[in-house]
Structure 1
Amino acid sequence: MEPSSSNTGFIQQLPTIKNQFHDDASLLRVAKLFLPPSVLDHVGPEMEQLGDEVLEQQIFDWVTDAEKNQPYLRGSGRDAFGKPCGGELVVTEGWKKLQDFGFEKGVVAINYDTDYGPYTRLVQFLRCHLWEASCANTLCPAAMQDGAARLLQRHLAKQDSGALTATERRVFQNAFDHLISRDPSKAWTSGQWMTERTGGSDVSQTETVATYDPYPDGSAPPLASANENIPLGPWSISGFKWFSSATDSQMVILLAKTQPGKGVSAFFAPMRRHNPSLVSATGKRGNGTELNGVTIQRLKNKFGTQSLPTAELELKGMRGWLIGEEGKGIQEISTILNITRAHTTVSSMGYLGRGLGIAKAFAVVREVGVGKGKRIPLSQHPLHMRTLSNIAVDYHAMMLLVFYTLSVLGLDERGLLQDARVSPPSSTNTSPRIQPPPQKLVAPLIRIMSSLHKAYVCEHAVPLVFACMEALGGVGYLVNVESEHINVSRLFRDACVGAIWEGTTDVLSSDTLRALKHSSTGPDSLAALEWLISTSLNGASSSSSSSSSSSPSTKAASNIRQEWTCLRNKVTSQTQEQLLPEARQIVFRIAEVLMAALFAVDAATNPGAEIDAMYERYMSKKGFATAGDGGANDKQDPNLDGAIIYGSSFSRAETGRASSKL
């Protein structure tokens, strides 16, 4: 026997994670379920390449740099002699490089410069799913960039009496062009400033005030940019914003009050303004820029998302442009929220998908003792495989909910466009792909799903990412900057914010309940959910090979319908005040009903032993079926656990041999 040392003895083989476009079965299933073959064939090669690129060592080196060298304020906000200088935000080179990578890959631009019709959003977010866990939170400002681009796009499209003035159109078009650029030297991100000390998500208590203060006739207004001759706006905005992620952005959409009793209004403002009198460190007077009436008070010290600059900001005379009508700011900002909430939910699923990929890779190379001197890889250990397969079932159910929501978002933005390149499956194809909703139900579905899918997914993803971290044992708890590709603890810290940003779970549950009970939106929203559940279950049932009344799938479908009926009756028969204490449970259960219905469609569309097992396990876990219904107990074969995790070609013996070769 020889004693071990720091460099001798057993040293664990480092796991190698795979390209998720091939390795993530759920990602592939939702792509096939929601995208027509013509679109998937067209975007597949590019997604495959992106799946490789986001795992390159250079990317992880930038991630480590962005996490280790966190953003900071140069100086203390004053120069050496006490003169206020506003403080300048400094971000690391790794952060800049990751952001440039996202610009070049068009993580936002693809929705605006590429046309896959109503499927464009789905293509965009499939790509974001691959990028999320490698981007070091640069997709957070990109989310607000996306939302701002969509808001400006809507206003630029208006041609009626509420259309923009010539100057407003030029200013908004300039900003929009920057927001959708793929050129890192031109591309902008955007802030989204709503949160204040008074109310968090309750923007009715906003203390930021905007005053209409146009420049005197005949005088040239100051410029936001001298090179582009873009003037600053006629509104002067002052106040204090408590949270501002994307502090390094080039523009912002913010809320402010204009008149007592008028409500809040939405404004666009550039972050910087032209100042020809600025003096450089060498004494030269040049055409520089400075912050546009903004003082960065301090940066937030956060549990996660530490590479992302989040700050408290004081505004004094920030110049901006009104967006839409005075007092209609909440309606305007809702356009952004629909998109940023979708990005936040996709980020949660991106962290979970990568975490599961890391846990899978670790299970192949890590051996454990099972008694009498025998050792096997974790990928052959029945309990470990059951644990990972249970995570995979929940992951897949939430992927279905998220990407269905994104498909409706795409319909809302693009409509049911007819184009040969993006046509839906042929009418002769009898597979039960999820049908697009009638146009009249699209808006009600978006109103409900925008809050519902984020409330459920971001809350439930956190313990699942933690379970992936736990699957690595002690090494999973470490901050593995030495091997950034398996740094699942970073993913867990960053995933925790999903249930807080863009509305906490309680706020979103209350919002969903309010939409269901509102006299103008409630009936349509309930009808839209009814349509989705009935259409999904009917389509799945019509193609099922065992559609008898006694089959497990038929019983599960009956139980899903019964559960939905109970929920609908509960919502319609009680007041909002009576339902409010149970808002979380109600929203979560509606989400589970929707996921069960979508799961049924997926299982019927692309049948197989693994998806059948996943479907039956999900039905049993969520109370839509029991072991006595048949099938659920039969699907607990350890080989099926491995197939759920590693794919249909999984073999316990083959996995063991692969492990021994590494």
Structure 2
Amino acid sequence: MEPSSSDNGFFQELPELPNQYYDDVSFQRVLKFFIPEDLRRQVEPELAQLGEDVLAPQIFDLITDAERNLPYLRGSGRNALGRPVSELVTGEGWRGLQAFGIERGIVAYNYVKDHVEYGAHARVLQMLRFHLWEASAASTTCPGAMTDGAARLLQRHLANKYSFKADSMQRKVLQNAFDRLISRDPRRAWTSGQWMTERSGGSDVSQTETVATFVGNDAGGSDSDGQPLGPWSIDGFKWFSSATDAGMTILLAHTQPGKGLSAFFAPMRRKRDASAPSIRVMTGSTHNLKDLELNGVRIQRLKDKSGTRPVPTAELELKGLRAWMIGEEGGGIREIATVLAITRVHCSIACLGLTGRALGVAKAYSLKRAISSEAGGRSRLLLYRSPLHMQTLADLTGDYHCLMLLTLYTAHIMGLEERQPVTVTGKSLLDPPPELVGPLLRALSSLHKAYVCKQSVPLLHAVCMEALGGIGYLMNTESEALNMARLFRDGTVNAIWEGTTDVLSTDLLRTLKHHKTGKTSLDALEWLVKTAVGQSAAAALLLPAFTNLRARIEKNSVDALLTDAREILFEMAEILIVALMVADAHSDKSAVAEAMAQRFLLKKGFLNKDPDVTRAAASGTVEQRLALNTAIVYGPKGPYVQQSSKL
């Protein structure tokens, strides 16, 4: 034997990361499940190209740059003589990745007229594009999510003839902002902030200390496009504001005692008063901002976070921020709900996009990495031939698939709510009665985000780190495509953003117990379960489970149920997931999808824990189980499946 050295001996071959559009079995299944065949054929070339482009070497170079050259305040917020300035500097990697997303219309996809024929399917297709882009985006999808939410809010008001007069100045201002939010030109496009969090309340916006005062349009001034600044002047302090380099923001503020919170639109920049100190945002040499200043905003400091580090997240002091009110005074919670419904789907998609990429790496690694075939033995076999390793990957793939179904179903209902069809039958899972669309979305909004983002944390850990061992724990910036530690670190934040699990569990409980709309939301969820399972064998398991849970919710008060709100949310989510998995398996009679549904039923306690039932679910020889697990992970054309199975 020759001893190894720094340059000699065994070196593991790097795995080759394939195009996720083709490689991700769950991605292909949900695309087939939610999108009609004729539309799939139409969008396939563009989706496949996006899946290829996000893996380009220059994209990974931009990721590395974004992680190394983090945003900072020049001079720590002061100039050389001590005058306060807010000069935010972002790196080339961040700006390059943000430009890529804008040019590809990652946000615009759901709004541009070119896709009007996609109808309600545009929202699901948009989220699938975000899914492909997520792991390569270095968290530029965070401002992308808020931009999407702001675009929908402005779109809704611009389409409502009662929101303001047709020729009003506010309509012109908001139309200009909307056009920028959905632009594919990085030089013109805006991203949006979303400012709600304050020191006093966190997710509890009722404790907001920001105050808006009506000063009228006569106060003068204009934004960066020469549009008049709004008639409201806002003062306060925002504790956690992502996308500090954005072009605009949506925020909440009080107007007068007893009125409640109102929602506001504010441009981030205004024409600079020559007599005022220079307060500006610099996002690169391509932007000429010397005549602009921040619109009554001072960046106090940037947050130092464990993950999503390239995102410029800051504490902001507002003094004289000029803004336009959106909606009715005191109706801010209702307005911001439109934004939150969208950003919560983005949180789930972010988790799934990161998990999908990690699974892709784990699968590719399993095709290259060999282990001992027996304890102490010298014979070797590749990981994809290891029964234990493939059982683990199959279990993780099943968990990933069920979260995909729940998230994309929520996105589908959102698409229906945004573009209500003229005629529906109410007989299909994807075609609910119109009167149930809104109630379904209200319940699913909190439910899917809490469940998916929480369950994704251990899932990401298992896929990103355990599946690759020590390699998965390293910050592999020298081989950025293998940087699983970055994916895990960035994914954990989604269980906190846009509502923690406790906050969202409370939201769901209040939705289902609402004195006017709670019953309708429960009716909508019951319709989903019954329609999904139909006359299948799973109906005998799921319908009693749902009936018992509904009776518990209806029988008890919110206060009596509050302690168990998490348990209630998780139980409801798992009932819905099984229903969706049954419908998915039934859609093409897939043995693989059936096996995943059966395993989920067993894992979550829907099946009797009798040992005989467990053995029946795990029946078959080692070779048969290995073939099934490989089909779950790699699909029917997987490497081992082709050799040994017709699955």
Normalised by the size of structure 1, how large is the TM-score? 0.91
Say whether residues 1:235 and 2:232 are aligned partners: yes
SS in 2 for 1:645: helix
SS at 1:637's partner residue? helix
Q: SS where residue 202 of structure 2 aligns? A: coil
Q: Is the 8 A contact 2:585 2:594 kept in 1?
A: yes
**Do the aligned partners of residues 236 and 611 (structure 1) sit closer, same or farther apart at CA in structure 2, a change above 3 Å counting?**
same
Distance 1:185 1:650 in 2: 44
Question: How many Å apart are 1:58 and its aligned residue?
Answer: 0.7
Q: Deviations 1:468-525 (Å, cap 9, x if unpaired)?
A: 1211000100001011111111010011001000000000000000000111121000
Partner of 2:367: 364
**In the superposition, relative to structure 1, how do residues 655 and 461 fare at CA in structure 2: closer, same or farther (>3 Å)?**
farther
The answer to whether the Cα contact below 8 Å between 1:66 and 1:136 also exists between their aligned partners in 2 is yes
Match of 1:303 among 297, 302, 306: 306
Q: Establish whether residue 51 from structure 1 lines up as the match of residue 51 from structure 2.
A: yes
1:139-178 matched pairs, under 5 angstroms = 139-160=141-162, 162-163=164-165, 166-178=168-180
Q: Identity rate of aligned residues, in percent?
A: 55
Counterpart in the other structure of 1:375: 380
Q: What is the DSSP-based 3-state SS (H/G/I as helix, E as strand, rest coil) of the residue aligned with 1:231?
A: coil
Secondary structure of the equivalent of 1:368? Answer: strand
Question: CA separation in 1, counterparts of 2:508 and 2:71?
Answer: 36
- 1:489 is aligned to 485
| Aligned equivalent of 1:504 | 500
Amino acid paired to 1:377: L
Letter of the 1:245 counterpart: S
- Whether the aligned pair in 2 keeps the contact of 1:448 and 1:525 (CA below 8 Å) is yes
Question: Cα offset for 1:651?
Answer: 4.5
CA distance in 1 between counterparts of 2:154 and 2:183 reads 14
What CA deviation, in whole Å up to 9, does each residue of 1:242-270 have, x standing for no partner?
00001110100000101011111111111
> 1:122 and 1:280, CA in 2 relative to 1: closer, same or farther beyond 3 A?
closer
Matched position secondary structure for 1:75? helix
**2:563 maps to which of 547, 556, 581:** 581
Measure, in 2, the Cα distance between the counterparts of 1:32 and 1:653: 22
Aligned equivalent of 1:15: 15
1:333-361 CA distance string (max 9 Å, x none): 00100010011111011111111111111
Distance 2:49 2:469 in 1: 32
CA contact (8 A) 2:34 2:430 kept: no
Matches within 5 A, 1:107-506: 107-113=106-112, 114-115=115-116, 116-160=118-162, 162-163=164-165, 166-216=168-218, 221-225=220-224, 228-275=225-272, 277=274, 288-371=291-374, 372-416=377-421, 434-468=429-463, 469-506=465-502
8 A Cα contact 2:627 2:641, kept in partner = no
State the AA in 1 paired with 2:4.
Answer: S
- Equivalence for 1:650: 638
User: How far does the alpha carbon of each residue in 1:66-104 deviate from its partner, in whole angstroms, 9 at most, with x for none?
Assistant: 01111111112222112222x211111000010000001
Q: Aligned match of 2:526 in 526, 530, 535?
A: 530
| Conserved 8 A contact 2:151-2:181 | yes
Corresponding residue SS for 1:365: coil
**One-letter amino acid of the structure 2 residue matched with residue 509 of structure 1:** S
Checking the alignment, whether the CA contact within 8 Å between 1:452 and 1:591 is kept in structure 2 is: yes
RMSD between superposed Cα atoms in Å: 2.1
Paired residue secondary structure (1:648)? coil
What residue number does 2:284 align with? none
Q: Report which stretch shifted further, 136-145 or 602-611.
A: 602-611
CA-CA distance at 1:652 after TM superposition:
3.2
- Helix, strand or coil: the match of 1:76? helix
Deviates most, 604-613 or 314-323? 604-613
Alpha-carbon shift at residue 274 of structure 1 (Å): 0.4
Residue 276 of structure 1: how far off its partner (Å) = 5.5
| Displacement after TM superposition at 1:640 (Å) | 0.8
Say whether residues 1:638 and 2:626 are aligned partners.
Answer: yes
Q: Distance in 2 between matches of 1:618 and 1:560?
A: 13
The question of whether the paired residues in 1 share the 8 Å contact of 2:105 and 2:184 is answered with: yes
- Opposite residue 140 of structure 1, the aligned amino acid is C
Q: Distance in 1 between matches of 2:476 and 2:642?
A: 29
**Contiguous gaps of at least 5 residues in structure 1:** 419-423, 542-553, 657-662
Instruction: Write the mapping of 1:91-110 to structure 2, written as runs, cut at 5 A.
Output: 91-110=90-109
CA distance in 1, matches of 2:636, 2:319: 61
User: Retained in 1: the 8 A contact 2:163–2:327?
Assistant: no
Partner SS, residue 381 of structure 2: strand
The reply on whether 1:516 has 2:516 as its aligned counterpart is: no
**Structure 1 counterpart SS, 2:319:** strand
- Mapped contact 1:222–1:274 kept (Cα < 8 A): yes
Q: Contact (CA 8 Å) 1:122, 1:403: kept in 2 or not? A: yes
Where does residue 421 of structure 1 map in the other structure? none
Give 1:215 shift.
4.2
Count matched residues.
622
Whether the 8 Å contact between 1:117 and 1:417 is mirrored in structure 2 is: no
Give SS of 2:256's match.
coil
* 8 Å Cα contact 1:244/1:310 also seen in 2: yes
**Does the CA contact (< 8 Å) of 2:259 and 2:329 recur in 1?**
yes
Q: 1:559 to 1:277 in 2, by over 3 A?
A: same
In structure 2, the residue corresponding to 1:327 is in which secondary structure?
Answer: coil
Q: Which amino acid aligns with 1:12?
A: Q
Q: C-alpha deviations, 1:590-637, integer Å up to 9, x for none?
A: 000001001101111122332222121111111222464585122671
Q: Match of 1:204, SS?
A: helix
CA distance in 2, matches of 1:88, 1:273: 15
Deviates more, 1:157-166 or 1:27-36: 157-166
* Structure 2 residue identity aligned to 1:632: A
Counterpart secondary structure, 2:251: strand
Once the two structures are superposed, residues 109-149 of structure 1 have per-residue CA deviations (whole angstroms, 9 ceiling, x without a partner) of: 01110221011101100111100111000011011111111
* 1:639–1:650 Cα contact (<8 Å) kept: no
**Counterpart in the other structure of 1:25:** 25
Give me the whole-angstrom Cα distance separating, in 2, the residues matched to 1:595 and 1:31: 17
What is the deviation of 1:214? 1.6
**CA distances 1:27-86 after superposition (whole Å, capped 9, x unpaired):** 11111111111211111110000000011111111011101111111112222112222x
Change (3 A) 1:179 1:128: same
Contact kept in structure 2, 1:33 and 1:433, CA below 8 Å: no
Shift of 1:434: 3.1
1:465 alignment partner AA = L
Partner amino acid, structure 2, of 1:184 = P
Which letter does structure 2 place at the counterpart of 1:314? E
Q: Distance in 2 between matches of 1:481 and 1:607?
A: 43
